[in-house]
Amino acid sequence: MPMDRRECWSHGRRTGILACPCLFFVQTPRRRGRTKMTRGKKRFLVGLVVLIIGVVAAIKIYRRLPSRALLVLDVGGPIDEQRPVGGQPVAARSATLLHDLTDAIDTARDDSRITGLVVKIAPLGAGWGKVQELRAHLLEFRKSKKPNICYLGEDFSGNREYYLATACDQVWLVPTAALGVTGLLSQSLFVRGTLDRLKIYPDLYHIAEYKTAANLFTEKRYTAAHREMAESLLRSALEQYVSGVAQARHLDRAQLDSLLQRGPYLAAEALSHHFVDRLAYWDEVHKVFEEKNGEWRPVSLSRYLKEVKNDGAAKLAVVHATGTIETGNSGWSLFDGFVMGSDTVAADLRRAREDDDVKAIILRVDSPGGSAVASEIIRREVDLARAKKPVVISMSDVAGSGGYWISMSGSKILAEPTTLTGSIGVVFGKFNLAGLYDLLGLSTDHLTTSENATLFWNQQNFSAAQREQVLRFMQDIYANFTKGVAEGRKMSVEAVDKIGKGRVWTGAQARELGLVDEVGDFSRALAAAKELAKIDAKTKVRLERFPKEAPWWKRWLNQEESQANALQGITSELRRLARAPQSFQVRMPDLAIR
């Protein structure tokens, strides 16, 4: 190939030998001719570029929030504090997060593009604490003077649904629906009769008389202490319910008490008693905002969350502690739902503690308790973190027994007035399955090298000596529990024991007893964390949440794996239930108020 030009290695020039200051050259071949781009190719490339620009612009326009938009929230079903960790059913993965709802409401309040709010309320799968927190944010939205409607469009809206709806300026009800405003009901399940039929004996023990978690298995109805505690909780919850509704609906307290005794009500009756403001269908909601805004421009929660900002000059960590407490990693249980693994939560607290950019930690607790050992592992990390930076405890629906254990060392503890907390006590025991085996024609034989080798054996009750040893261990755990509460709350052990004994309290009651510092929601806990970290109240902060949620594509890839492991998970759960419990439990009793 003929060579008539030289190219500089370092400067990339094709030039004469003396034209470049660099003396390193290589000969390059002469180009015989350049391929010219045809007019058709040019048109194609120009068209492709225009198409790409158009698609990008269209996506941006589509994502842009329209002016005079309306935020429409569908609130119903389960409302969770966090996404489940590990394999879980589709329903759990798709549940609404409480902080998504509250963040959207708070952002919309000050967003000039949002002209109003409509909340469609369906049967709620959340406890009173979460409902109370969500309601507080709706009440704050009212201060914006933007129109807001809570719409009850189900067959029968109960106490919790109506309590939430009263946070809106306007409560609308479908003309053919009933309003289930009635007195509250406290209910506990007992399975002792079932166990008797199956010849299963629950050899369970508890400290002390109000520690009624084992009553689910050992009793057929309320004991005197259980009834006393349930009545106290019911009265406290009713006070929150009635006072909140009376204030929001401008009803006389005595009149409301009387009306609740006679509920439920037909739609027309609910309107005449001023429980609701209007009987209307969904299309009439459309019409109101069409007249106001010129057209119906709804924005859903998932769409509006893209407008919610999480930025600020300072960073705070939010560590979620949700579910039954067990040793190991967090996950999902077929029977218990969320499982709070001590290793997972302890690691999250450790990461937040070691991050110098994190100025304070908020431990968000929603747990009925569980393993005493697992609870202490988490509490230890709270204690270590508190030595370096403030740790504020924010309680959700429930933070009792082990849920309170992990909270007691916090710098400050806040709970909703209806949060169920306390339950300072211990439960332990096993199920004797010998009768069931006999009923099924099964038999076992055994050999031992010591009397206590049968301690966890499911074919006999504890012997007298074993029972004495079990109670000794339980007393030791109770002593550690009450001592930890006394140190954390600056109380005497005797004072803690007096309000302990396994008794459950509402957040409002716990505040009076000194078990929590304030009644308040997550927003107040955030403000308290800023105060303790010496961050100006007006300074915006960025929240880093733990555990960190996996990206959507990873969650999608895990769906098939979760479904494939479903049967294996059921088998594992049944095996776990069949085994004798080998951990001392600090767990709350079964108790539902509705």
Does the annotation count 401 as an active-site position? yes
Q: Rounded to whole angstroms, how far apart are CA atoms 220 and 217?
A: 8
What is the C-alpha separation between 118 and 285, in angstroms, rounded? 9
Number of Cβ within 10 Å of residue 24's Cβ equals 11
The whole-angstrom separation of Cα 310 and Cα 361 is: 16
Handedness of CA 402, 404, 405, 411 (dihedral sign): positive
| Cα-Cα end-to-end distance for the chain | 92
Cβ neighbours for 243, distance < 8 A, ≥ 6 positions apart: 253
Can you tell me the distance from the alpha carbon of 177 to that of 191, in angstroms, rounded to the nearest whole number? 35
Q: Which of 342, 394, 396, 401 is catalytic?
A: 401
CA-to-CA distance for 415 and 572, rounded, in angstroms?
35
Exactly one of 211, 359, 389, 501 is catalytic; name it.
211
* Size (the chain), residues: 594
- 211 assigned to active site: yes
How far, in Å, CA of 70 to CA of 76, rounded?
19
Which of 523-528's residues contact partners 24+ apart within 8 Å by CB, and which partners? Answer: 523/102, 523/136, 523/137, 524/414, 525/362, 525/364, 525/392, 525/393, 525/394, 525/412, 525/414, 526/316, 526/362, 528/392, 528/412, 528/414
CA atoms of 569 and 64, how far apart (whole Å): 43
* CA distance linking residue 395 with residue 386, whole number of Å: 17
Beta bridge partner(s), residue 8: 25
Q: Tell me which H or E stretch contains 290.
A: helix 282-293
Spatial CB neighbours of 371, under 8 Å, sequence gap ≥ 6: 325, 326, 327, 342, 402, 583, 584, 585, 586
Distance CA 365, CA 414 (A): 10
H or E element: which one contains 256? helix 253-262
Say whether 124 sits in a helix, a strand or coil. strand
Active-site residue numbers? 211, 401
